[in-house]
Chain A
Amino acid sequence: MDCCRVFGSGDGFCLCEKIRHSRLDAFRIVHPVDCSLDEILYNTGVTPLNQVQINHRQLSWLTASLLLTSSLITLPSSLANAAGADVVFSQIGPVLYALIICLFFYALNQHYPEKNLFEINFLVAGKWGGAIINVVILFFMWTRIQMELNAITGFINTTMLTRTPPEILTLMFVIILMYFGRSSVESIARMNDFFFPILFIGIFPTFLFVLNEFHLERMEPFFVDGLAPIWKGNWVALAGYGEMFVLGAFLHALPKSKLFLVSIRHGVLLSALGFTVLLLLGIGVLGPVISGRVMYPSYILVEQIHITDFLDRLEIFFFSIWFPAIAIKSVIIFLAILIAIASFTNNRDYRVYSIPLGWFILATSTLSFQGALSVQDYSAYALPVIIPATQLPLMLLIYVLVRWKKRKSDASEDEKPKIPGKIVKWGTYVYTLLFIAVLSIAVGVWFGYEYSLLGQIMAIVFGLCMLVATFFSRLEVVKLKEFNVAQMREKN
């Protein structure tokens, strides 16, 4: 293995001590020498930038963080507007869409391991074709990160610091982005390891605390308005799941084999579950009308916490639990943009672009949107159109090109060990449960108008399906990991 393709940290000597190279050609192959990854890891203390690895649990949490966190702030309002009380069923459609993207990435990973999406594009579509495709994806990600910055800035400007100029707030956020742009996705995955569980588990104390204000019986029942609110809700919720595409930038760092698919699936389901719980809380405490009219229902939701005089105003505390996770999500998109830019050069070292890109994004995001409300509108009504319209054809195109290229050099695929049915059955369970969830919506819509009791039961069935599906996907991840570990032990 090339040991010189190692150093992420400045000038240095190659481990073989014979060739000296500078930071800029750190990632080119200079002098092939055998050294093991362990040695490199150990001696430099730094995982080389093109050898980063995220393990499966970090991957699933990373995915969930990507999808859940910013939607927390921006989407619930438009969702409640579009879907009314049926907003709790709005996650199932986007979950299916996200699973399609998962499968696409899995296929890419199978054919081109160790390469990320952008490099694959260059490989299959040539220099110019790949450049065009990458530019489209880059544009999408750039828009997304501007929206993120604007949304966060708008949120803070509206709720907490009302007189501070928004540019300064964005500047502070961009400083975080620039700092993390100089490290790798591994360190952001590690941060996520810490903050995402706090976010996710913190949703449940919220539930506990607002229980005294939770009056579901005062709200209109579910399923009464027919199919319209449900598909409208699903449509708007799609805006939050378009970010899955960003994971393509990290394909070289992710676990290989089926574990990849299973972890991402788990992450998607986790985020859907968390979001559904939060929406349910919003409906139960505030009601669909208020949720639709308030710009930030989640924030107003935690404002309602009033246990005693002492535990009265906890919303800033909850915000400080959410904020790191939101920052992490923006950093992930930022890193993806950096990787995309770096893929245009021969190098995988993107750290030198971090600061200029930060300034660029600061400038453009200040100019691009007119305020938090236009971001919300854009996100709720424009994104659900843009996302399928750009991503689906792109995915199809890339997949076709990959299969075409690979058809020529077929044959030599490694024998992958057959995964025992015991583990695959959990995956099948997950799919069945999702199918049942969709069915329950259908039944509820069909009959809920006449027989309201049936509608309520179907809602409960839906909730249980989501919960159990998440649980089963976690089981699948764990069991598959054990299986892989056992396999590797056998090999050695």
Chain B
Amino acid sequence: MNRRKPKSNNSIEELNLRYVDEFKAVSVSPSLKENLARVKELAKENSDFVIREFQLEDSVAAFMFYVDGLASGSQVDFALKEIMILEGGLSQLSAIQEHVLAVSQMSNADNYGDMLIGVLGGDTALFVEGNTKVCLLGMRGPHTRGVSEPELETVVRGPREGFIENIRVNTSLLRRKLKTPYLKMKPMIVGKQSNTNVVITYMEGIVDANLVTEVVERIEKIDIDAILETGYIEEFIQDHAYSPFPQVQYTERPDTVAAALLEGRVAIMVDGTPIALIVPVTFWSLMQANEDYFERYQLATLIRWMRYIFLIIALFGSAAYIAVSTYHQSLLPTSLLLSIASSREMVPFPVVVEALILEISFEALREAGVRLPKAIGQAVSILGGLVVGTAAVEAGIVSAPMVIVVAGAGIASFTIPRYNASIAVRMLRFPLMILASIFGIYGILIGLVLLFGHLVNLRSFGIPYLSPTNPLSIPDLKDVAWRAPWWMQKDRPSFMPLMDTRRMGDHLADEIAEHGGQSGKDIDHKQPEKGD
């Protein structure tokens, strides 16, 4: 990035600027003709760049420059109308701004870089003869998609809105959840060519300032040409680049983001994608779905325990089956052993090969189901699963118990709420299966110890990955081991550095704990029962 001192008379081409950043060195000249020439150069071969020249009263020349599709056409007409019927001989831009234009958002720019950033974001630039400042009218255009239910994270009970691609809509959705000025949205621009708007949101007063600084610093270090999705950012900012486990959580729902912000985390939203990132993350929060917090705690606790059991099944299911059926047949009850043996009589492969074939087919089915359009996708998964599976069993290529085990482990891996965690689990199944096939249960145990050792060493922005179980912090276990009812969760999780640790006042919580619920003063509980 060489910054050269530009001469204001040079055309853009001669200046040889590559990035929008570099345009910041070119300042707006007072001569409208020059500006017009430069802007026309920029608009060369760009059919959606619109330049509208007009004249104010007193024949002061001016022009408006906007991008069709990004700026709202009707509002541009409206602004034009306002200016063109202007009376009173105002030719100073500041005067026009303050007295005439009834546009809600306005800002100024004095160089081409800022002007371009604004225009490319949807603003309209107003150049007036004789002014070195450009007025940027914020009349951004229509949104691309309506707010709808996110596809990745559907809930039975809970809000049905999800983020969309436009970042202003996203921040507005978030702002609706937390109506406080302390919800800060810090803007950044990342990406040399894409100049993507990135917004870092946090709750000031709850979050640790160091965390925010750290996040900002890590993102500022990113020096890439385009950020198309939050996944790009994720890979740049995580603590351990080689680990299969995600150290950053992503979500499409504003309520998840809001809840995370209230726990002292920081969210990163990127323009152009509905996926927002949340840092830092712990392994146990990857196992939690936000629906847990909307339903009653008994149900949520049971489902949580089921998830943990299924996590173990997903990780160790096939491996355990391989280990037990080839090395430790004494573990199985006799009748089960005999029925497994009879179902494997015709199968030519050893158990490991069978398992690998089935696992890989399962992954292929899943992937194919994602890529295909919805209508065909359903049919393929049913076809693949039922028909082909049954046919394979009958032809003697795989055995029925193996299909059950692999399907069970696959379904178990889908109960993990976060997709990236379930991918990690599915990937790790394969080495475990190989280890199990060589060493039996000893192999699985070695794999378990190594895996756990890896997890224990991971950190996400400084927070140990397995908090609150290791390092053990018993008060925080109430949200991990079970889901404590809301009136018990007085404090925020303590393994995060926080400035404000209390979530709620004591009064009601103590009352509920003491009386086992609320009892109304205005309702008379001692009414005699009707029905004598």
- Does chain A bind chain B? yes
Q: How far apart sit A248 and B395, CA to CA, in the bound complex (Å)? A: 64
The contact of A323 among B327, B439, B445, B464, by CB within 8 Å, is B445
From known contacts A45-B459, A191-B453, A316-B328, infer whether A160 and B442 are also in contact, taking CB-CB under 8 Å: yes
Q: How far apart sit A169 and B441, CA to CA, in the bound complex (Å)? A: 12
From known contacts A161-B440, A172-B446, A187-B457, infer whether A193 and B452 are also in contact, taking CB-CB under 8 Å: no
Pick the 9 closest A-B CB pairs, nearest first: A190-B470, A45-B459, A45-B462, A323-B445, A190-B456, A193-B470, A187-B456, A313-B331, A327-B449
A173 and B452 form a contact (CB under 8 A): no
A42 and B462 form a contact (CB under 8 A): yes
| Chain A contacts with B in 117-140, Cβ cutoff 8 A | none
The contact of B333 among A194, A312, A327, by CB within 8 Å, is A312
Rounded to whole Å, the gap between the CB of B335 and the closest CB of chain A is 9
B471 and A183 form a contact (CB under 8 A): no
Rounded to whole Å, the gap between the CB of B312 and the closest CB of chain A is 11
Q: Is B19 among interface residues, defined by CB-CB distance under 8 A? A: no
Between-chain CB contacts (< 8 Å), 19 pairs: A43-B214, A45-B239, A45-B461, A58-B471, A160-B442, A161-B440, A172-B442, A175-B450, A187-B453, A187-B457, A193-B469, A193-B470, A309-B333, A310-B333, A313-B332, A316-B328, A320-B444, A320-B448, A327-B449
Q: From A324, which residue of chain B is reached at the shortest CB distance?
A: B449
Total count of chain B residues near the partner, CB < 8 A: 34
CB contacts (< 8 Å) of A57 on chain B: these are: 472
CB contacts (< 8 Å) of B332 on chain A: these are: 313
Contacts from A to B (Cβ < 8 Å) = 41-43, 45-46, 55, 57-58, 156, 160-161, 164, 169, 172-173, 175-176, 179-180, 183, 187, 190-191, 193-195, 309-310, 312-313, 316, 319-320, 323-324, 327
A194 and B469 form a contact (CB under 8 A): yes
0/1 string, B259-274, CB within 8 A of A gives 1: 0000000000000000
The contact of B453 among A183, A316, A319, A323, by CB within 8 Å, is A183
Contacts from B to A (Cβ < 8 Å) = 210, 214, 239, 327-328, 330-333, 439-446, 448-450, 452-453, 456-457, 459, 461-462, 464, 466, 469-472, 497
Known: A316-B331, A320-B445. 15 other contacts (CB 8 A): A46-B459, A161-B440, A169-B439, A175-B446, A176-B446, A187-B457, A190-B464, A191-B453, A191-B470, A193-B471, A194-B452, A195-B452, A316-B328, A320-B448, A324-B449
Q: From B497, which residue of chain A is reached at the shortest CB distance?
A: A42
From known contacts A313-B330, A313-B331, infer whether A173 and B461 are also in contact, taking CB-CB under 8 Å: no
CB contacts (< 8 Å) of A41 on chain B: these are: 462
Rounded to whole Å, the gap between the CB of A9 and the closest CB of chain B is 10
The contact of B445 among A45, A175, A324, by CB within 8 Å, is A324
CB contacts (< 8 Å) of A172 on chain B: these are: 439, 442-443, 446
Q: How far apart sit A320 and B440, CA to CA, in the bound complex (Å)? A: 12
Rounded to whole Å, the gap between the CB of A194 and the closest CB of chain B is 5
B439 and A164 form a contact (CB under 8 A): yes
CB contacts (< 8 Å) of A310 on chain B: these are: 333
Residue of A175, A176, A316, A327 most packed against chain B (CB within 10 A): A316
CB contacts (< 8 Å) of B472 on chain A: these are: 57, 193
B462 and A176 form a contact (CB under 8 A): no
B453 and A180 form a contact (CB under 8 A): yes
CB contacts (< 8 Å) of B459 on chain A: these are: 45-46
A324 and B452 form a contact (CB under 8 A): yes
Q: How far apart sit A94 and B445, CA to CA, in the bound complex (Å)? A: 31
CB contacts (< 8 Å) of B449 on chain A: these are: 176, 191, 323-324, 327
Q: How far apart sit A57 and B473, CA to CA, in the bound complex (Å)? A: 11
CB contacts (< 8 Å) of B470 on chain A: these are: 190-191, 193-194
Q: From A317, which residue of chain B is reached at the shortest CB distance?
A: B331
CB contacts (< 8 Å) of B461 on chain A: these are: 45
B466 and A190 form a contact (CB under 8 A): yes
A320 and B441 form a contact (CB under 8 A): yes
B456 and A191 form a contact (CB under 8 A): yes
Q: How far apart sit A180 and B446, CA to CA, in the bound complex (Å)? A: 12
Rounded to whole Å, the gap between the CB of A47 and the closest CB of chain B is 10
CB contacts (< 8 Å) of A179 on chain B: these are: 450, 453
CB contacts (< 8 Å) of B464 on chain A: these are: 190
CB contacts (< 8 Å) of B333 on chain A: these are: 309-310, 312
CB contacts (< 8 Å) of A45 on chain B: these are: 239, 459, 461-462
CB contacts (< 8 Å) of A193 on chain B: these are: 469-472
Q: From A39, which residue of chain B is reached at the shortest CB distance?
A: B210
Q: How far apart sit A267 and B239, CA to CA, in the bound complex (Å)? A: 34
CB contacts (< 8 Å) of B440 on chain A: these are: 160-161
Rounded to whole Å, the gap between the CB of A62 and the closest CB of chain B is 13
Rounded to whole Å, the gap between the CB of A304 and the closest CB of chain B is 14
Rounded to whole Å, the gap between the CB of A212 and the closest CB of chain B is 19
CB contacts (< 8 Å) of B444 on chain A: these are: 320
CB contacts (< 8 Å) of B471 on chain A: these are: 55, 58, 190, 193
B441 and A160 form a contact (CB under 8 A): yes
The contact of B328 among A160, A180, A183, by CB within 8 Å, is A160
Q: How far apart sit A172 and B497, CA to CA, in the bound complex (Å)? A: 39
Q: How far apart sit A415 and B449, CA to CA, in the bound complex (Å)? A: 44
Q: How far apart sit A179 and B448, CA to CA, in the bound complex (Å)? A: 13
CB contacts (< 8 Å) of B448 on chain A: these are: 320, 324
CB contacts (< 8 Å) of B462 on chain A: these are: 41-42, 45
Q: How far apart sit A160 and B439, CA to CA, in the bound complex (Å)? A: 10
CB contacts (< 8 Å) of A43 on chain B: these are: 214
Rounded to whole Å, the gap between the CB of B2 and the closest CB of chain A is 25
Q: From A164, which residue of chain B is reached at the shortest CB distance?
A: B439
CB contacts (< 8 Å) of B457 on chain A: these are: 183, 187
Residue of B443, B453, B461, B472 most packed against chain A (CB within 10 A): B453
CB contacts (< 8 Å) of A320 on chain B: these are: 441, 444-445, 448
The contact of B327 among A46, A160, A324, A327, by CB within 8 Å, is A160
Q: How far apart sit A191 and B451, CA to CA, in the bound complex (Å)? A: 11
CB contacts (< 8 Å) of A313 on chain B: these are: 330-332
CB contacts (< 8 Å) of A169 on chain B: these are: 439, 442
Rounded to whole Å, the gap between the CB of A73 and the closest CB of chain B is 14
CB contacts (< 8 Å) of A309 on chain B: these are: 333
CB contacts (< 8 Å) of A176 on chain B: these are: 446, 449-450, 453
